[in-house]
Homo-oligomer: A and B are copies of this chain.
């Protein structure tokens, strides 16, 4: 069977990490890439990826290199990061010499659910306003087709396995960009 890159996206606080970590556990040979962790490999001279193009480019180059190395060793890869369709397209283009499919899921929730979840996180990880800005960006993104969106406000933490099940088996999430295989 083809290897799969799962790109688990959505605004901060929506549940990307929790979902990704549960997903990676259900797969038999699987790896987990935290985009946030990768973006923090640079320490001094680093900017916020959404403000500093150099840090942004470096983060995606590192995610790409690691993903390539993992695919070459037959791993399924789960990428947990704020990812827009143009970035999925870029990654797919860079990896065009390998065999794989991409599953792209943008987790969303209404404003109040998102703020509630954000406030449940440790204080130093709360994103506050930034969550809502990104929620709006995902909603307004004309390139983002409806079928990649997964609304999670009606799910409790105990129903996470249903979300993971849906991500793994619902064909609507399989990326069908012009340049994807």
Residues of A within 8 A of B (CB): 24-25, 27-33, 37, 41-45, 54, 57-58, 61-62, 65-66, 68-70, 73, 75
Number of copies: 2
Say whether B54 contacts A31, CB under 8 Å. no
Say whether B58 contacts A44, CB under 8 Å. no
Say whether B24 contacts A32, CB under 8 Å. no
Which of the listed residues A44, A58, A65, A68 has the most CB atoms from chain B within 10 Å of its own CB?
A44
Q: A30-B45, A41-B32, A44-B25 are in contact. Are A65 and B75 (CB under 8 A)?
A: no
CB closest chain-B residue, reference A27:
B44
Say whether A44 contacts B30, CB under 8 Å. yes
A25: min CB distance to chain B, Å: 7
Question: Which residue in B32, B45, B66 is a CB contact (below 8 Å) of A43?
Answer: B32
A31: B residues at CB distance < 8 A: 41-43
A111: min CB distance to chain B, Å: 33
CB closest chain-B residue, reference A44:
B30
A29 vs B70: C-alpha distance in the bound complex, in angstroms?
A: 28
A92: min CB distance to chain B, Å: 18
